[in-house]
Amino acid sequence: MGDATPLTENLLLVYHEELPSETIEYITNKFPEAYIKIIQTLSAGIDHIVSNPIFKDTKIPVTTSSGIHGPHIAEWTVLNWLVASKKYIKIYEAQQKHQWTGVRPFLNGIHDQVGKKIGILGYGSIGRQIARVASALGMSVHAYTASPRPTPASRRDNGFIVPGTGDPDGTIPASWHHGHDKKALHSFLSIGLDHLVISLPLTPETTHILGAEEFSILSASAPGKNRGYKPYVTNISRGKVIDQDALIAALKSGELSGAALDVADPEPLPPDSPLWDAPNVQISPHISGLGVEYVARVFDIVQINLNRLKRGEPLINEYKRGKAY
Amino acid sequence: MGDATPLTENLLLVYHEELPSETIEYITNKFPEAYIKIIQTLSAGIDHIVSNPIFKDTKIPVTTSSGIHGPHIAEWTVLNWLVASKKYIKIYEAQQKHQWTGVRPFLNGIHDQVGKKIGILGYGSIGRQIARVASALGMSVHAYTASPRPTPASRRDNGFIVPGTGDPDGTIPASWHHGHDKKALHSFLSIGLDHLVISLPLTPETTHILGAEEFSILSASAPGKNRGYKPYVTNISRGKVIDQDALIAALKSGELSGAALDVADPEPLPPDSPLWDAPNVQISPHISGLGVEYVARVFDIVQINLNRLKRGEPLINEYKRGKAY
């Protein structure tokens, strides 16, 4: 972590753990004459540096790693959907036992994703890459954002995008929805969704934004409810956006067919939490964005911003001090 | 199964097991006045009826279910890639033990699919849907077909396509390759592939088309070989297209990083086969195409062909007697 002395002519890395030596070497090779007047975070958020004097007391631009998580988190999301829908654990266990089961255990209850409706709460870079893959699988995508996106310009993704991924122009969604209040959210949850993906930032307004009432509304309008599949919830945001007890209840009652959770409330999730054994829940320990490509992509952003600085252009992924996330 | 009496004014279903009563009911409701002069198979192939007199001794058109397997098999394929690349079993086992491991076990060795090169042997309806999803994940697709496909018309998929899926116009591949002989195949395997997907029909020529030499060539040109990932092989065709002993050896030697196999040689795979425990192999019992949507899609084909018959148009998915598969 940086200390109280603002840096001016150096590259400052902010990370919550000691960096591996290969990473340091990578950076040193990539930027032999570091002179950047930028603070680049290795995370999409900046909550870990907001109380630091270099953030509070200087005007050094802070740029985030927003946009680099899309591919990894979209893969994590699709992985979890398919593990659930294809009964993967049954396949895995049969292999462990050297059992060629044949088709019988798999004749019932396996649905594919074609024609399924997916609602994405928070259509940022992560939601957009999930949308891209969902669309390729044959699903229809429905986006929900805080502010209205009526024009092509308003639908664009202006941050960093991993080349060849995402939905830069916002052309994938079959419908766009927006709002800040329960009414707007409930209206969105009523459009008949098979999948709900939560990729919102955690703020006071989004804390427990999904609870018993929301799961009930979602379930009641699910198109597949009479065909053997209820809505499936994916949370790649923060644990506290969901009322976790309400989620467990909705899984137990069958209102939801399952949930993929990369986040929990609290983290680490204690061993005795009832969430671990809730029906059809798949939990991972906040790792959906991890991958070897992570650091290299952060420095793709640094490289872009170095070039922009030289040309006097506005930076990408710059955090605007004094504005809510 | 049909017997030796050719049917003329009826709908004949050919299936290797007794149909569930719901399926019979579904069909009866969908076609209350069945009068079709078509034999519709419930499989993509016709090998189970070629020795039947209704096939040999009549000219009743035989239409296959080719084209309906794309979505399910593409999902199965991507599921297996991601189970391997994301270390899913480690995630699953931690949940079973109620362990919030944090990020440490997942910091190394996890790659995403962005920029990976996938080669697809046999660019039919299944290969095309795999291509569609692979492209959405950020991969570049390279197609290999028996005959050359130099023109837009030759690249088109003229069979049944599940709406919203596949690559109907053949526009996804970054490069097209073709040939019948080892030389052409070896040239394709040398272009630097991270993934090889086998979706060829089994014929005398494709039997053991992939063996020790081919895995060696594939491995030698793999772009990721110095970055921690060797080629990954996916077989959704038939077990015998691969020399299985050679595959096991290539997995053991590390020439291949892993394999996803929905087929084996023989089937059922005996419990004492060394394939079960080969390194990084994922085996399923020939189920990749299964799903509840299967039968409904077969009858989408019947419906299309009923309409074509009425209009005097050529049928889709018609098997041409006397022509090799």
Q: What is the pLDDT of residues B20-50, one digit of tens each?
A: 777 777 777 776 655 577 888 888 878 777 8
Q: What is the pLDDT of residues B298-314, one digit of tens each?
A: 989 999 998 998 899 99
Q: Could you tell me if B20 and B111 lie in one domain?
A: no
Angle at A207 between CA B105 and CA A324, to 5 degrees: 95
In chain B, the percentage of residues whose pLDDT exceeds 90 is 70
Does A9 score more than 60 pLDDT?
no
Let me know: does B37 contact B8? Beta carbons within 8 Å.
Answer: yes
Does any domain span residue A246?
yes
Residues B103-117, mean pLDDT to the nearest whole number: 93
- Look up residue B2 and give its two tokens: 């049909």
Closest Cα in chain B to A272 = B98
Q: What is the pLDDT of residue B66?
A: 92
Q: What is the pLDDT of residue A49?
A: 79
Cis amide bond preceding B266, omega within 30: yes
Does any domain span residue A324?
no
Residues A100, B137: C-beta atoms closer than 8 Å? no
Closest Cα in chain A to B98 = A271
Does any domain span residue B5?
no
Q: Could you tell me if B207 and B119 lie in one domain?
A: yes
How far A140 CA lies from chain B's nearest CA (Å)?
Answer: 9
Residues A42-56, mean pLDDT to the nearest whole number: 79
SS3 A244: helix
Of A146-150, A309-313, B284-288, minimum mean pLDDT range:
A309-313
Under the banding of pLDDT at 50, 70 and 90, the label for residue A44 is: confident
Determine the Cα–Cα distance for residues A48 and A190; give it in Å rounded to an integer.
Answer: 36
Percent helix, strand and coil across chain A, each to the nearest 5: 35, 15, 55
Q: Could you tell me if B37 and B96 lie in one domain?
A: no
Considering only CB atoms, B71 lies closest to which of A108, A112, A164, namely A112
C-alpha closest to that of A211 among A199, A222, A219, A221: A219
Residues A270-285, mean pLDDT to the nearest whole number: 98
Query: Which residues fall within 8 angstroms of residue B131, CB to CB, at 6 or more apart?
Result: B118, B120, B123, B141, B143, B167, B172, B173
SS3 B219: helix
Q: Could you tell me if A98 and A53 lie in one domain?
A: no
Residues B108-130, mean pLDDT to the nearest whole number: 95
Helix (H) or strand (E) holding B302: helix B294-311
B117-121/B62-63 β-pairing: unpaired
Residues A142-163, mean pLDDT to the nearest whole number: 96
For residues B9 and A145, the model is more confident at: A145
Determine the Cα–Cα distance for residues B158 and B169; give it in Å rounded to an integer.
Answer: 9
Does B193 score more than 50 pLDDT?
yes
Does B5 score more than 50 pLDDT?
no
Helix (H) or strand (E) holding A121: strand A117-121
Q: Which residues pair with B318 in a beta bridge?
A: B63
Q: Could you tell me if A217 and A305 lie in one domain?
A: no
Let me know: does A166 contact A135? Beta carbons within 8 Å.
Answer: no
Does any domain span residue B1?
no
Interface with chain B: mutation pick from A42, A43, A77, A79, highest number of B CBs within 10 Å: A79
Q: What is the pLDDT of residue A8?
A: 40
Domain extent, residue A129, equals 70-283
Let me know: does A121 contact A200? Beta carbons within 8 Å.
Answer: yes
- Look up residue B242 and give its two tokens: 């691969």
For residues A40 and A119, the model is more confident at: A119
Residues B136, A138: C-beta atoms closer than 8 Å? no
Q: Could you tell me if A90 and A239 lie in one domain?
A: yes
Under the banding of pLDDT at 50, 70 and 90, the label for residue A4 is: very low
Q: Could you tell me if B97 and B155 lie in one domain?
A: yes
Q: Could you tell me if A54 and A150 lie in one domain?
A: no
Q: Could you tell me if A51 and A162 lie in one domain?
A: no
Considering only CB atoms, B287 lies closest to which of A103, A227, A291, namely A103
Considering only CB atoms, A114 lies closest to which of B71, B78, B268, namely B71
Does A325 score more than 50 pLDDT?
no
Under the banding of pLDDT at 50, 70 and 90, the label for residue A174 is: very high
How far A123 CA lies from chain B's nearest CA (Å)?
Answer: 17
Q: Does A271 touch chain B (CB under 8 A)?
A: yes
Does B15 score more than 70 pLDDT?
no
SS3 A24: helix
State the ipTM, two decimals.
0.90
Interface of B with A in 248-267 (CB under 8 A): 264, 267
Which CATH number covers residue A134?
3.40.50.720
Q: Could you tell me if A157 and A262 lie in one domain?
A: yes
Closest Cα in chain A to B268 = A100
Burial of B95 (0-12, 13-18, 19+ CB in 10 A): buried
Q: Could you tell me if B101 and B131 lie in one domain?
A: yes
Interface of A with B in 59-118 (CB under 8 A): 71-72, 74-76, 78-79, 82-83, 85-86, 88-89, 91-92, 94-95, 98-103, 106-115
Let me know: does B117 contact B140? Beta carbons within 8 Å.
Answer: yes
Burial of B308 (0-12, 13-18, 19+ CB in 10 A): middle
Under the banding of pLDDT at 50, 70 and 90, the label for residue B2 is: very low
Under the banding of pLDDT at 50, 70 and 90, the label for residue B325 is: very low
Q: What is the pLDDT of residue B3?
A: 40
Q: What is the pLDDT of residues B65-92, one digit of tens each?
A: 999 999 999 999 999 999 999 999 999 9
Does any domain span residue A170?
yes
CB atoms within 10 A of CB A274: 11
Q: Give Cα separations from B265 to B87, B122, B254 (angstroms).
A: 27, 20, 22
Q: Does A18 touch chain B (CB under 8 A)?
A: no
What average pLDDT is seen over chain A?
90
Q: What is the pLDDT of residue B14?
A: 63
Does any domain span residue B318?
no
C-alpha closest to that of A114 among A140, A78, A91: A140
Q: Could you tell me if B109 and B235 lie in one domain?
A: yes
Considering only CB atoms, B292 lies closest to which of A94, A110, A293, namely A110
Under the banding of pLDDT at 50, 70 and 90, the label for residue A6 is: very low
Q: What is the pLDDT of residues B210-253, one digit of tens each?
A: 999 999 999 999 987 767 789 999 999 999 999 999 999 999 99
Does A39 score more than 90 pLDDT?
no
Q: What is the pLDDT of residue B8?
A: 39
Q: What is the pLDDT of residue B110?
A: 92
Query: Which residues fall within 8 angstroms of residue A61, CB to CB, at 6 or more apart?
Result: A37, A38, A39, A315, A318, A319
Q: What is the pLDDT of residues A219-257, one digit of tens each?
A: 999 987 767 789 999 999 999 999 999 999 999 999 999
Considering only CB atoms, A138 lies closest to which of B71, B94, B276, namely B71
Q: What is the pLDDT of residue A177?
A: 98
Q: What is the pLDDT of residue B188?
A: 98
Does any domain span residue A168?
yes
Let me know: does B137 contact A133? Beta carbons within 8 Å.
Answer: yes
Sheet holding B140-145, edge to edge: B175-178, B140-145, B117-121, B195-198, B232-235, B258-261, B281-283
Does any domain span residue A268?
yes
Neighboring chain A residues of B111 at a CB cutoff of 8 Å: 291-293
Per the listing, tokens 């939801």 go with A256
Tell me which long-range contacts A43-48 makes (C-beta under 8 A, separation of at least 24): A44/A68, A44/A69, A45/A201, A45/A325, A46/A319, A48/A14, A48/A16
Tally of structural domains, chain A: 2
* Torsions phi, psi for B39 (to 5 deg): -100, 115
Considering only CB atoms, B79 lies closest to which of A83, A267, A270, namely A83
Q: What is the pLDDT of residues A280-294, one digit of tens each?
A: 999 999 999 999 888
Does B275 score more than 60 pLDDT?
yes
In chain A, the percentage of residues whose pLDDT exceeds 90 is 70
Q: Give one word for B192, left, alpha or beta, with left for phi > 0 and alpha for psi -120 to 50.
A: left
